[in-house]
Structure 1
Amino acid sequence: MRFKAIGFLAFGIFTYDPIYIAYKNLFYEVPDISNIYGRDSYAIITGATDGIGKGFCEALAEKGMNIILISRNQEKLDRVAKEISEKYGIKCITHAMDLSKAGNHDYIKLKKKTDVLDVSMLVNNVGKVSYSRTKELKYNEIEEIINLNSLSMMHLLRMYLPTFERRRVRSAVINLSSFLAVRPMPIVSLYSGTKAFNHYLTEGLSEEYGDCIDILSFQPATVITNSTLNEKPSWRSCTVQQSVRGALLDLGRRRTTHGHWNHELLAWAISWVPERIRLKYMSYSIDQTIKIRLQK
């Protein structure tokens, strides 16, 4: 009986994630976000003019959220803000800011600009990946990757978590991690490390602030964006819209999401692969992916 109980427990642990993934995609709906986090409130989204950032802008605007778009190009900010506000009938505010070089005064300027608004959500999306091996990275490139991927997120959390904590209704934070942070990764080790930092920080904060803020670590795999134009739809990739919708399905329900169901299954499968085998396979797979993307 004891061995049978252990067997049932092991089977339950092994199958829990696939069962949840199936249930989530068959029965969950994206929640009424503006009602949960405050009607007429604003979501701050970094890296908002392209890719996953723009995808969050559109998905949240569709749910009635007003948007504060942050990126470094004012022209692109104005174009995307106009497009979204006209399509969804919500308010858009833009703030040009280069988070790879931002100093304390830049963050203070942003905070003063948003203090007059009811900010209820923060989506830390901005980031950068380098396809150079560690020995090939330049000093400025290392600084930029760490600043964009992790340091900017830390400063924005430091500023807005107290604001969220004081609100009368719930607030939300979505921090972009990556599938490449699920386990240590070769070749793109710096990127993987910064995204692992984001994930660990998010997991801790989700427990710390769980009574008033929904905090989600988002770890997508390959999403087809402007930076992955040579990537074709496949078992390992999905569109921006699919990825963002999958993340929003988990907001307020889990601490970690991989977004689309195929990315959820990829993460589940790789978690069972022995480390030595996984590192060899990922080294080959990442190397091939880099060659494809550098062809554009």
Structure 2
Amino acid sequence: MAAIDSFEFLLKEILQVFSTGRDAFAILGAVYTASKAISISRCILTALNDHFLSRLRRQSDLKTKFGRWAVVTGSSEGIGKAYAQELASHGVNIILISRGERRLFKTAKEIEEQFHVETCCIAADFSKGMEIYAKVMKAIGDKEVGILVNNVGVMYDYPQLFLDVPAERLWQLIHINVAAATMMTHGLLPQMVQRKRGAVVMVSSGACSQITPQMTIYAATKSFLDYFARSLHYEYKSKGVLVQSLMPFYVATRMTQYSETLSCTNFFIPTASGYARSAVSTLGVSSRTSGFFPHTIMSWIANLVPEGMWMWGSSRLNEALRAQALHRLKQQSAGRLAQSASDQALDIIDSGTSTPS
């Protein structure tokens, strides 16, 4: 009987321990669920504020809030051109900086005629390195620059493995994507701090949301811009300068023309002007944003997917995009050969008909 009583006592103690353990796990589960619910709610509220409420509110005068002039690098086409046009629509004068002089002056003329603002053009090749910045700052002179948009950037011709990227392109990625934003900010931030108002926009990329194979160096340079913007915002927000990390995913521009899929606009792939319109509405509202609501949805997904699964999926996607690019290059090459053969045939016919009998 004593043995049975002892066994019953032991069983009760064991069941009591398991009951206490279940309660503990239940509490942990409730805490985890609550933390996730709060995190998701915060994401939804942030997205609503960035992309919808910011548009419903009366937008402040950007010129009064930040300054009379905006500098936009890489502004002769794509997102840079569209962002410059959107700022001009708010009455901000634009300093356009880009390599292609002809496109640069054409863009400036379009902005002046359409939005009736002043423009200033600076032809600069940021791939040349340190020597270019003194020239750029001299050209900007004493203009009151209230907004700096570090947009200039270069990517691979199409997704590639690291060793397949030419060394020259690797240097371009460093000089243009990293050095340009660093040195332009270093040159123009002091006057913003002195006036206690201004905004710096770093055009990063959704590609750095997680590790993205076959866009390794490009994504790494954009990760630098995101880190740079977030740290700089903390350092200078108390001095009246807002720094924003803008992280778009794919936008239909010349940079994505290597792929037929990425060249077609849809819900997730906007035009440059559509993206810029949305992105400018977040200026002064959010310090880190995709700038475009569908891209915010993509960012949520990217952050929820485990790293290994993301790398596998992005690698498969980039392999498919590379195949599209190579197929398009093959078609273009065949087209050029056919055109050349046609031109030669016409030359033979012309020379034959012009020869006297």
Q: What TM-score does the superposition give when structure 2 sets the normalisation length?
A: 0.77
Give yes or no for contact 2:150–2:202 (8 Å, CA) kept in 1.
yes
Q: How does 1:35-46 map to 2 (within 5 A)?
A: 35-38=64-67, 41-46=68-73
Query: 1:157 Cα shift?
Result: 1.2
Which sits farther off after the overlay, 90-99 or 136-145? 136-145
Distance 1:292 1:236, change over 3 A: farther
Q: Which residue of 2 aligns with 1:33?
A: 62
Equivalents in 1 of 2:63, 2:184: separation in Å?
Answer: 21
Q: Which residue of 2 aligns with 1:120?
A: 146
Q: Which residue of 1 aligns with 2:171?
A: 143
Give yes or no for contact 2:154–2:177 (8 Å, CA) kept in 1.
yes
Equivalents in 1 of 2:286, 2:51: separation in Å?
Answer: 14
Cα deviation, 1:107-160, whole Å, max 9, x if unaligned, reads 112212222211111101011111332111222111011111111111111111
Equivalents in 2 of 1:271, 1:97: separation in Å?
Answer: 37
Give yes or no for contact 2:204–2:245 (8 Å, CA) kept in 1.
yes
Give yes or no for contact 2:50–2:285 (8 Å, CA) kept in 1.
no
Q: What TM-score does the superposition give when structure 1 sets the normalisation length?
A: 0.93
Cα deviation, 1:74-111, whole Å, max 9, x if unaligned, reads 1111111001011100000000000011323x211221
User: Which letter maps to 1:91?
Assistant: E
User: Which letter maps to 1:17?
Assistant: C
Equivalents in 2 of 1:45, 1:23: separation in Å?
Answer: 26
Structure 2 residues not aligned, in runs of 5+:
1-25, 330-357
SS, match of residue 216 in structure 1: strand
Give yes or no for contact 1:242–1:259 (8 Å, CA) kept in 2.
no
User: How much identity, in percent, do the aligned residues show?
Assistant: 27
Match of 1:51 among 69, 74, 78: 78
Structure 1 residues not aligned, in runs of 5+:
none
Query: 1:234 Cα shift?
Result: 2.8
Equivalents in 2 of 1:24, 1:227: separation in Å?
Answer: 26
Q: Which residue of 2 aligns with 1:224?
A: 252
Equivalents in 2 of 1:33, 1:289: separation in Å?
Answer: 39
Give yes or no for contact 2:210–2:310 (8 Å, CA) kept in 1.
no
Equivalents in 2 of 1:56, 1:27: separation in Å?
Answer: 20
Higher helix fraction: Structure 1 or Structure 2?
2
Q: Would you say 1:241 and 2:269 are equivalent positions?
A: no
Query: 1:224 Cα shift?
Result: 0.9
Distance 1:279 1:87, change over 3 A: same
Q: Which residue of 2 aligns with 1:177?
A: 204
Query: 1:292 Cα shift?
Result: 3.2
Match of 2:323 among 285, 291, 296: 291
Cα deviation, 1:197-216, whole Å, max 9, x if unaligned, reads 11101110000011211100
Distance 1:216 1:23, change over 3 A: closer
Cα deviation, 1:172-194, whole Å, max 9, x if unaligned, reads 10011101011111011010001
SS, match of residue 95 in structure 1: strand
User: Which letter maps to 2:66?
Assistant: Y
Q: Which residue of 1 aligns with 2:195?
A: 167
Equivalents in 2 of 1:93, 1:34: separation in Å?
Answer: 16
Computed over aligned residues only, the root mean square deviation of the Cα atoms, in angstroms, reads 1.8
User: Which letter maps to 1:275?
Assistant: E
Match of 1:153 among 166, 181, 202: 181
Cα deviation, 1:10-37, whole Å, max 9, x if unaligned, reads 2111232234323443322254312211
Match of 2:43 among 4, 13, 17: 17
User: Which letter maps to 1:126?
Assistant: V
Q: Which residue of 2 aligns with 1:208?
A: 235
Q: Would you say 1:190 and 2:220 are equivalent positions?
A: no
**Which structure has the bigger radius of gyration?**
2
Give yes or no for contact 2:178–2:225 (8 Å, CA) kept in 1.
yes
